[in-house]
Amino acid sequence: MTSFLPILVCCFAAQSGPLDDPRLAAPVTLVAPAETVEKVLAAVGRQCGVTLEASGAIEEDLVIVAVKDVSAAQFLSRLASHFGWQWTKAGSTLHLERSAEAAKNEDRLADEARLRPFVEIQRRLRETPVELSPEERARIEAELEAVRKKMTKLAEAEDDESWREYDRLSTLHSLLFRKLDPGLKLVEQVVRDLSAEQLRGLVTRGRLVVSTKPTSAQFRMSAKAARFAAEHVKQAAQDGVDQLKAFEAEGALKAQDRENFFTSPQFATAVRVTLQAVERTGPAFAEQTENFSGISVDVAILGDPGEVLTSHGNWVDRSSASFSPADAPPTGLETPAPFAAFEDARFQVSIDGNAGLKAQLIPFAFPDDDFTAVVGILGYIAGLVRDARDPLYPIAQILTESAAASGSNLIADGYDSNIIGCVSRPLSGRLRDVKSVLTAVCRAAGWSPSLKENWLMLRTRDWALARRSTVPRGSLRELADLHQRQSGFSMDQVAGLVARMTDEQATSPLLELTLIESWPITTENVCLVRAYAGLGIVQKELLGRGDPISFATIAPGPRTLLGEHLFRTGTMQPPEAALSSDKARLQQYQLEVESLGGRHRDWEVTQILPGGPTAATILRLGVKSEPGIAFKVSIGGNTLQAGLTMQEFAEVSMSMAEESELPFEFRIEAVRAGTTDSWDFAIVHPDLFSSPTSFRQIYCSPLAAFGPTDALPEGHRARLAAAVQKIKERRGGGGGTAASARTFAEAHVLFGVATP
């Protein structure tokens, strides 16, 4: 018998799970709007007397919880199962973990969600007929002509119904035209031809180049696409002839300019199609995989080596391939189906007497066209972040209040996409009961609800991608703390933080909306910032002094990132077009390019540097520092900190004085002296520059106090007075209208300095 004892003990241990601790039978009550998993577990652990910990991979994940008098074991079990996590036990401590298999599955789901809109675009294009029969072409041409005639008649109408019909016909015209235009047919064929690997590369790297004569960094065009390319060249040549005749008829063409027109296909040596996956920003970020994802396309006809004869842009998204020529596009959005989970009787309870829930709804329930409310909610969200509160908190409170009103327990995930969704889309409809409130919030934020017994469980659609795109709360708190103390950030501070984030996290619109307003947050710029963070101290000092550094001296990691930045940026230009400091030269150069009928030097990186940057490539940086002003501003009742240059501050302040220009409350409360740093990076290869990437940050010493403008240092006050004088002169000096006189007077009071 004794030999079976160890086996029996092992069997009993296998049946006894980590949550079988009798202390976890204790009831717990917890309301946690937008708290990290770490804090939620700590709160539950204190109530039941058990040490609960989360692994580092998930401890900063946001959860929204509202439970009342349920056993700790039941809550912890549902929490783990809802997120696909698991409990383990080590000694007396229970650990919540994400298994290696769950992590792998999450990566797969995120990749699929990111690729899905582009796969859908390609699928719809592949289902669309490529070749048109003569009869089909004739039918489309006749339909196009009929649509044009209808649009001509409607163009003179002024009523709303006619304009809606005009917009519908305009969309239909575009869809019909796509079926005939050889350039568009070329673009669509190139997208059809992309292999799964190429499509993935387009999405992950952002760009992909296809050509009839590819370099080593480009892909070869298929035979079918090449036929459309030849048709496109022929059409472009005919367009050149037609344009030449039109100019000659008007007498607007100089004899020496005739050669600048692309008038014959014999000049073409290749056709190149550049595809760029559009990043998810703003509403597109909130939609995740909805209609905003698409492919921006440039089609270039190449002449002699290094010359582009003509180029034009196109756009491909799901709507481009959704309709056959005979189908009219939809006139509006369909009414979404109701959520079945909210049909339960418990959610029919009225909110008329629920003052707490009504108060939480106020910032988010506004009409689609209410610009005042949009500005107010942006200010509200930004204020939360800068006060070290989570921006998801007010939205999460709506959920917890609704759960309490319906007598339900609640577990929900929380990501940046939920926030952006509620900011960019109002909680529309009559919010009269808990059902309508939850329906509006889930629809705006992107939650899919389910009801299991008394548990309301919310999971974000495409949650894996949303999780990947959410800024770690530790980094968000660090940025918020810096902003609170300095009213901004230095380049090194942000570079250090961005270097620790993924591409998706670093390009979250939450950062751009709330913290880093003056930074162009794109994937190519994230590569550049990471590369800068990886440079050595001596190299940073050299760049700061204006000395270039050769790629040959840069470590492999930063050098690879700079090459990726250059690839994603896509073009290099001659100094005339690249030097942003000389706007007059840039404008003149652009005029010269236009006067050549579109012909210009080839700037495509994959054509110039197919192997990437070489030892001859250098990195340059221009740094400019000047006094700036940080200020506390009230926007719609929410106080924020912001920073501007002297000239910008004067412009904004004087515009504020003209109340009719601003449909929302906007008031400066206090100012403090700051510094404006402008950083202009450029990658240079002999005589070509990448388009300079500019970053601008305004920040202050933590010791600088807020106060009235007359408390600013003398140098700041003098510059501010000069900026006011410059604006005054530009607007007509002292002899303007009564309104302008009022503007100057109010600006003078606002500044607290003597009017020049």
Instruction: Quick: pLDDT tens for 172-221.
Output: 887 787 778 788 889 999 999 999 999 999 999 999 999 999 999 999 99
Q: Work out the average pLDDT over 8-26.
A: 67
| Pick from 187-201, 287-301, 608-622, 652-666: least confident | 652-666
- pLDDT score of 15: 38
The mean pLDDT value for 1-24 works out to 57
Give the model's pLDDT for residue 665. 61
User: Are 526 and 402 members of one domain?
Assistant: no
Residues 426 and 524 in one domain: no
Which of 351 and 755 is assigned the larger pLDDT? Answer: 351
**Is 236's pLDDT higher than 50?**
yes
Last-in-domain residue among 268, 303, 321: 321
Do 597 and 647 fall into the same domain?
A: yes
Q: State mean pLDDT over 249-271.
A: 65
- The verdict on 47 and 189 lying in the same domain is no
Report yes or no on 378 lying in a domain.
yes
Task: Give the mean pLDDT of 708-717.
Answer: 90
**83-87, 594-598, 683-687, 732-736: range with highest mean pLDDT:** 83-87
Query: Is residue 6 scored above 50 in pLDDT?
Result: no
For the chain, give the number of residues: 756
Question: Which pLDDT value is given to residue 328?
Answer: 36
Of 298 and 480, the structure prediction assigns the larger pLDDT to: 298
Residue 444 has pLDDT above 80, yes or no: yes
What stretch of H or E contains 684?
strand 666-685
* pLDDT for position 732: 67
pLDDT higher than 60, residue 456:
yes
pLDDT at 287: 43
On the question of pLDDT at 535 being above 90, the answer is yes
pLDDT of the residue at 376: 64
- Please give the pLDDT value at position 580: 43
How much is the pLDDT for 106?
97
The DSSP output letter for 703 is T
Domain count for the chain = 4
Range of the domain at 497: 473-751
Name the range with the highest mean pLDDT among 196-205, 276-285, 414-423, 484-493: 196-205
Last residue of a domain, one of 434, 459, 484: 459
511 in the same domain as 428? no
Rg of the chain on CA atoms, in Å: 30
Q: Mean pLDDT, the chain, as a whole number?
A: 81
Domain membership of residue 164 (yes or no) is no
Q: What residues contact residue 474 under an 8 Å CB cut-off, 6+ apart?
A: 60
DSSP at 19: G
Residue 332 scores a pLDDT above 50? no
Residue 743 has a pLDDT of 36
pLDDT at res. 531:
95
Q: Please give the structure tokens belonging to residue 545.
A: 């002094």
User: What is the rounded average pLDDT of the residues 130-141?
Assistant: 83
Residue 749 CA: distances (Å) to CA of 709, 710, 742: 10, 11, 11
**Position 95 pLDDT exceeds 50:** yes
Please tell me whether residues 269 and 363 are part of one structural domain: no
pLDDT at 667: 75
Q: What is the pLDDT of residue 319?
A: 61
pLDDT at 523 over 80: yes
* Residue 481, in any domain of the structure: yes
Per-residue pLDDT reduced to its tens digit, 560-602: 999 999 999 998 877 554 444 444 444 554 554 444 455 677 8
Which helix or strand (DSSP H or E) is residue 489 part of?
none
Q: Looking at 83-87, 492-496, 559-563, 597-601, which range is the least confident one?
A: 597-601
Residue 744 has pLDDT above 70, yes or no: no
Residue pLDDT, tens place only, 59-76: 999 999 999 999 999 999
Q: For residues 709 and 720, is the Cβ–Cβ distance under 8 A?
A: yes
> 91: burial class by Cβ within 10 Å (0-12, 13-18, 19+)?
exposed
Beta strands in 246-321, from DSSP E residues, in sequence order:
270-277, 294-302, 307-317
Question: What is the pLDDT at residue 327?
Answer: 39
Higher pLDDT, 9 or 683: 683
The answer to whether 565 and 527 have CB atoms below 8 angstroms apart is: yes
For residue 751, is pLDDT > 80? Answer: no
Estimate the crossing angle of helix 491-498 against helix 473-486, to 10 degrees: 170
- Separation between Cα atoms, residue 147 and residue 232, nearest integer Å: 24
Highest-scoring range by mean pLDDT, 136-140, 199-203, 640-644:
199-203
In a domain, 354, yes or no: yes
Confidence category of residue 367, pLDDT binned at 50, 70, 90? low
Task: Please state the three-class secondary structure of 625-670 as a single string.
Answer: EEEEEEEEEEECCEEEEEEEEHHHHHHHHHHHHCHHHCCCCEEEEE
Token pair for residue 646? 């002297």
pLDDT tier, 338 (very low <50, low <70, confident <90, very high otherwise): confident
Asked if residue 444 and residue 508 are part of one domain, the reply reads no
CA neighbours within 13 Å on the CB side: how many for 375?
14
| Residues facing 276 on adjacent strands | 207, 296
- Which residues on adjacent β-strands are paired with residue 413? 63
- In 10 A of CB 293, how many CB atoms? 23
Name the domain boundary from 301, 321, 341.
321
Looking at residue 696, its pLDDT comes to 81
Residue 247 maps to a domain: yes
Same-domain check for residues 711 and 580: yes
Higher pLDDT, 682 or 421: 682
321-338: b or e for each residue (b if 16 or more CB lie within 10 Å)? bbbebeeeeeeeeeeeee
Q: Does 355 lie in the same domain as 400?
A: yes
Answer yes or no: do 455 and 488 share one domain: no
Report which of 468, 428, 410, 434 is spatially closest to residue 70, judged by C-alpha positions.
Answer: 410
pLDDT tens, 275-329?
999 765 433 344 443 445 789 899 999 988 888 888 888 888 766 554 333 333 3
The CATH number for 15's domain is: 3.55.50.30
The reply to whether 670 and 719 lie within a common domain is: yes
Closest CA to 672 of 625, 729, 609, 720: 720
Are residues 656 and 631 part of one domain? Answer: yes
The pLDDT of residue 645 is 85
Domain membership flag for residue 747: yes
457 pairs with which residues across the strands?
Answer: 411, 450
